[in-house]
Amino acid sequence: MTSESAAQRMRTAWLADVLTRIAEHPARKLDELLPWKWLPERRSITT
């Protein structure tokens, strides 16, 4: 794996996550979705 392909995968993951979350994300926290602040959403699995 090259660093270029890893970077591309990270950009793709960021975009997919932001597009999924943006409608429900509070407007006052939109800066959290910027690429340099973004953290993947952690979802807990409950049984």
Q: Specify the pLDDT at position 45.
A: 57
| Mean pLDDT of all residues in 32-46 | 79
| Mean pLDDT of all residues in 8-36 | 92
Q: What percent of the chain has pLDDT over 70?
A: 81
Evaluate if residue 8 carries a pLDDT over 70.
yes
**Which single residue is written with the structure tokens 């509070």?**
26
Evaluate if residue 43 carries a pLDDT over 70.
no
Q: Specify the pLDDT at position 17.
A: 93
Q: What angle do CA 29, 46, 9 make, to 5 degrees?
A: 55
**Can you give the pTM of this predicted structure?**
0.69
DSSP letter assigned to residue 45 = -
